[in-house]
Amino acid sequence: MKKKRVAILISGRGSNMRALVEAARAPDYPAEISLVLSNRPQAAGLAWAKAQGLATALVDHKAHADREAFERAMQTTLEAHGTELVCLAGFMRLLTPWFVEKWQGRMLNIHPALLPLYRGLHTHERAIADGVKVHGCTVHFVVPEMDEGPIVEQETVRVRDDDTPDALAARVLEQENRIYPRALALVAGEQVVVRGNRVLMREGREPGAPTRAGRSPSS
């Protein structure tokens, strides 16, 4: 199967972007990173991507009159790079239904919590304050409602008695960096189908077979 052309949208550090770029270097990975787009000129991830020789673009939201103009500029850039799939990776702008609908079923996001718990910001602080024992991260398809949409992958992280939001965030981020490449491989490789709010392995794939990067679903 031809590799899917993926654009990664970032606003900052870009560790998830890096994880995707590194995974996509494998010859059998079903996606290639054809663009890294940032809305912030100072994003550390943008400098890293440039240094790697990747195609990069800056679409600065502050240089546009309104959200629509900003998104139209992003859309033009994505189209110019032949983008087939979009991965949001720490992209800190809310997207309008117009943009989301253009990419519906073709745009993923990573969220630092076990959705549908802890939508929004400050997820680690809130999880600790609530006393939950298990926290984690989620990769999901993007729909117009923020932090909703069919879930492709999740991973759990135990909350420790002495956890701080930063310590917990660091352990969750390690898992984010593992599940995002896995989730993108499932979607780009057309191994999954969306049925309502569920993302299911395509028919013909045995349940329990080590399809999700070598893990059985119960592990």
Given the rule CB under 6 A, which residues bind ligand GRF? 10, 12-16, 45, 89-90, 110-112, 173, 176
To the query of whether residue 64 is one of the catalytic residues in this protein, the response is no
Tell me the C-alpha distance between 48 and 132, whole Å: 35
Kindly list the distances between the CA atom of residue 201 and the CA atoms of 106, 195, 207, in Å, as whole numbers in the listed order: 17, 10, 8
**Are residues 193 and 184 in contact, defined by beta-carbon separation less than 8 angstroms?**
no
Spot the catalytic one: 111, 124, 135, 140: 111
Tell me the C-alpha distance between 123 and 141, whole Å: 19
**Cβ neighbours of residue 159 closer than 8 Å, sequence gap 6 or more:** 127, 128, 132, 133, 134, 135, 168
Judged by CB, which is closer to ligand GRF: 84, or 176?
176
Q: How many other C-beta atoms can be found within 10 angstroms of the C-beta atom of residue 133? A: 10
Q: Which residue's structure tokens are 């087939």? A: 84
Tell me the C-alpha distance between 129 and 114, whole Å: 15
Helices (runs of H) and strands (runs of E) counted in the chain: 6, 9
Any bridge partners for residue 107, and if so which? 86
Judged by CB, which is closer to ligand GRF: 12, or 149?
12
Tell me the C-alpha distance between 48 and 32, whole Å: 17
C-beta of 139: minimal distance to ligand GRF in Å? 9
Judged by CB, which is closer to ligand GRF: 74, or 87?
87
Judged by CB, which is closer to ligand GRF: 42, or 76?
42
C-beta of 210: minimal distance to ligand GRF in Å? 26
Judged by CB, which is closer to ligand GRF: 140, or 211?
140
Which one-letter amino acid corresponds to residue 168? L
C-beta of 87: minimal distance to ligand GRF in Å? 10
Residue nearest to ligand GRF (CB): 90
C-beta of 179: minimal distance to ligand GRF in Å? 10
C-beta of 15: minimal distance to ligand GRF in Å? 3
Q: What residues are labeled active site?
A: 111
